[in-house]
Structure 1
Amino acid sequence: MKLRCLVVDDKPLAIDVLADYTGKVPFLELVATITNPIEGLNIVREQNIDLVFLDIQMPELNGMQFIKIAGKQCKIVLTTAYADYALDGYEHDVVDYLLKPIAFERFYRAAEKALNLSLHKPTPGNESPFAHHQPPPEYLFVKTEHRIQKINLADILYVEALQNYVSLNTTGGRVMSLQPLKKIEEQLPGAEFVRVHKSYIVSLRHISSVERSRIFIGDTIIPVGDSYREGFYKLIDKG
């Protein structure tokens, strides 16, 4: 099997490097290289592209906008000089995120990952019976002011919204994130975490006790909001 590839980057030097790399990988077929992302979208639509090596910061249309428009038409490997977009990329299910300058060994691993995803893609009517029962994630990535930080879900005690920040309170200390509480909530498995207040999400495993409308996690007391109370008590009553 060969993956039909497209390179989209507004820098000719970057295109030359990626074109050279694709030529060295036997299961990649380079269909085109393009500096204009809008023209790249047309190629994706018209030429059955399997995989796009995509820059992020480009004029007219950036990489994230390209992904949103392209949808699920092809797989994406992001190639960029900026680490800031890593979390956004993985939220859009990119295959991999390569930081420039890109070593060939790292490029090859990303290509292999794309190939494996294509080979194991279930055909309609032939899905694995376990396809919708994958184990929940064990960690999440959050944006802080200076980095993207990995946090193990088992370490999270509770999450609190604080004006322009969100505080993830863990067994190892507090991590301040720039993401909104809603975004954090979407990444947390509902079987383990529950919203109990407009400003709080708690980890069920770390609750010490519950008294009236108060949750105790260690020495911390967390209020249960009126609109969340009924759902919360139904949840813990099931346990």
Structure 2
Amino acid sequence: MKRIRCLAVDDEGYAINMIADYITKVPYMELVGTTTSAIEALSQIQSGEIDLVFLDIQMPELSGLQFLSLCGDKCKVILTTAYAEYALEGFDHGVIDYLLKPIALDRFLKAAQKAFDQITGINYRTTSQQPAQTAPKVTSPAHDYIFIKGDSKSKFLKVDHRDILYVQGLKNYVSVFTLTQRFVTYQSLRDIIELLPQPPFYRVHKSYIVSVNKIRMIDGQMIYIGEQAIPIGESYRDSFMAMIKDGSNREQ
């Protein structure tokens, strides 16, 4: 089976690491490289060695939409962003798909299959049936816990995934709320989301990560975990609700 050569472009470390990790889980994709510079990415594309770019829209040197205008038909593009309002313009540039952050693995795999179909001209669903081992493999995290920094450089606190209810990011620190206590760390929310498996953890707001397994109710723009109300950010709502509805459909 043809391997699609991929480049991940994003100015945020946690996002580029997530995309790179997802690419390695897809047997017909090959991660050629990652970069935080859209200009460097354009240079790599000119070499003709890139089939597919996962591209963030909000880049400091060159926006994703400017990038699309410059790269022309040198490669295919899947946009990755936290801003849903750019979707229509992105599709006007002929992108394969548009992934809203935080990106769930199952949603990423759907976009990967679209890319396979368009780039190879072969229907993935047909070829994936023979042999069965060509289907994407979803791997579980290596551990069911995380270590977060304590109140000194040499102190680290172990927190089990199953105990975490939600994580709240404040100005100078992050609080991890569990079934029995609250842990405080001076790491950033970005640092924490990199450590947690997605799913079941999703970032639903610029200041919140939740465990979907612990949600009691969703009511409008609010998530309820126990009696705690957690807002859903506008830029996260579409991808979060799509994941919720997708999970509901699978259970029926």
After TM superposition, the score normalised by the length of structure 2 is 0.47
Q: Which has the higher contact order (CA 8 A, sep 6+)?
A: 2
After TM superposition, the score normalised by the length of structure 1 is 0.50
Q: Mark the structure with the bigger radius of gyration.
A: 1
